[in-house]
Amino acid sequence: MPEATLRVPDSIHEISAGALITWFTPTDTDGDEFANTSGTVMVLVKNDSTTLPVTVTVVSPQPCSRGYYHDVVAEVALGTTWGSTILAADLFAVPETGITVINCSAVTDVKMALIQLSFVPDVI
């Protein structure tokens, strides 16, 4: 199970400017999972492929307060990097295990990183 890279300060500009991030190659079978107990993790997916866009799905095993499931699905175009929102544990982690699952439609020339942010979002 991959570990998230702690980023302080929490600046997307610093991340995009080349701050040190631990990248890994996604798994092509059942997806990748990580312990999401803090609810302050985001995922980055970098598509270095020259032939295929990549569809990324972050599974939401928990319904929101209105009863809907909110899987995050994004298409990462050729040569681009996509960053998710903060993956709140109450929506994106399996309650019994605290595990969040992320699937990529392709893994060749694709890198993923988990970013552990140093703040907890306010609940409204």
| Domain residue limits, the chain | 5-117
CA atoms of 108 and 28, how far apart (whole Å): 9
- Secondary structure, 3-state, 70-98: CCEEEEECCCCEEECCCCCHHHHCCCCCC
Q: What pLDDT score was predicted for residue 23?
A: 85
Comparing CA positions, the residue from 35, 31, 34 lying closest to residue 55 is 31
| pLDDT of residue 8 exceeding 50 | no
pLDDT range class, residue 117, cuts 50, 70, 90: confident
Q: What pLDDT score was predicted for residue 22?
A: 81
Q: What pLDDT score was predicted for residue 120?
A: 54
Q: Are 106 and 52 in contact (CB under 8 A)?
A: yes
For β-strands 99-104 and 32-35, DSSP reports them as: antiparallel
Could you tell me the sign of the dihedral formed by the alpha carbons of 54, 13, 71, 116, in that order?
positive
Average pLDDT value over all residues in the chain: 82
| pLDDT of residue 35 exceeding 50 | yes
The model's pLDDT over 64-101, given as tens digits with 9 standing for 90+, comes to: 889 999 999 999 999 999 999 889 999 999 999 999 99
